[in-house]
Structure 1
């Protein structure tokens, strides 16, 4: 299992990344002290680092440069700074990739797998868009839900909704977030259509032997 070190100072994003990686079957470590990241890299020996640029008391670009003095571990910048000069500086300091927030979980996972493969880590997952929660597997490439050998095919809308829920399993995802994600991906959907799709997903989960995997949090949204 690959170990990924998360260097992100915003707690909510750090926890979201950790859950997403663990659900994708990576081992995730999250830094909470940013005073000596190169030392932490030595101690944890990660296979890849997700590195923010804006860190308390330091700068992710400098951290990347300091890490590069000791190791060639792959580094992906995950940051809200989106101008081309920041991306260029990140690459010049030794970064292997650069992705801006807000990110889509499948895209980030695909970029992680691509960097691991490109940098010589040949055991990177063949399918980086696979999530597992309580024995149920969501395969983004096949568009299926599988549990104990039984599978159900998902529609495009259902797949996008499941991607949000599985990539952030354990967290409450608001109805507004789900609708916004589908709208951004050019799938027309309204509030009633979302309810219909959730009902259909629950029906498919029941068909493969799972009930109550998706919980409604009244006034808040849905949660795995």
Structure 2
């Protein structure tokens, strides 16, 4: 089931929201340490973020921008601020939707469900020309990967592997899954072939100025670590 990160400093309201959404089967992490929001975000790896604006230490606008630099995870801003400019600012900083307090839990759930369906489900765009992770852009038509003002060309296999990493942002992918993604016929594929392709991708990421992005864990597989984007691009 989908994992939701709830960032709301009104703990009583947060508990009610958490309880309401968990009835629908969502896994909800309610933020309590507002100094460690980004650390918890990377550890929990949510599928959607519910983000209040008025928070201690860092406001929601700052956090929205920080999350968007590291991830394409959908963000719904939840705030008592009903001014049009607040909503415009939230959307321009990367929020996917805006919900004004007070609201009913039915409205909240409908927005959560609609956003998840649009991003991950039946309404998700399957044939986009571009995929993005942080400030890294993968162009499926031109077989290129861009970061800032730099761009590198990819082979078809490298493109397929990068596409798989972006579609599974922040998750470990086994060698078997990656091999099947690229070489899906019945011919034998040397396991070393995947290693060679991963090494080439790492070298091209280095050319773009992205260091130590693809990490491996023995017996588990590979992961694209989105923490590399923190502080690298303005």
Normalised by the shorter chain, which TM-score bucket?
0.5 to 0.7
In the alignment, which residue of structure 2 is the partner of 1:212?
none
In the alignment, which residue of structure 2 is the partner of 1:98?
98
Counterparts of 1:1-224 in structure 2, within 5 Å, are: 1-122=1-122
In the alignment, which residue of structure 2 is the partner of 1:183?
none
Q: Where do 5+ consecutive residues of structure 2 fail to align?
A: 125-234
Q: Give the length in aligned residue pairs.
A: 124
Preserved CA contact (<8 Å) 1:116 1:122: no
In the superposition, relative to structure 1, how do residues 75 and 29 fare at CA in structure 2: closer, same or farther (>3 Å)?
Answer: same
1:38 offset after TM fit, Å? 2.0
Structure 2 CA distance for aligned equivalents of residues 42 and 89 of structure 1: 24
Aligned partner of residue 54 in structure 1, secondary structure: coil
1:123 offset after TM fit, Å? 10
TM-score computed with the length of structure 1 as normaliser: 0.53
Aligned partner of residue 106 in structure 1, secondary structure: helix
In the superposition, relative to structure 1, how do residues 123 and 42 fare at CA in structure 2: closer, same or farther (>3 Å)?
Answer: farther
TM-score computed with the length of structure 2 as normaliser: 0.51
4+ runs deviating over 3 angstroms? 121-124
Aligned partner of residue 99 in structure 1, secondary structure: strand
Give deviations 1:28-85, integer Å, cap 9, x for gaps.
1101011132221110001101000000111101000001111011100111111100
Q: Where do 5+ consecutive residues of structure 1 fail to align?
A: 125-224
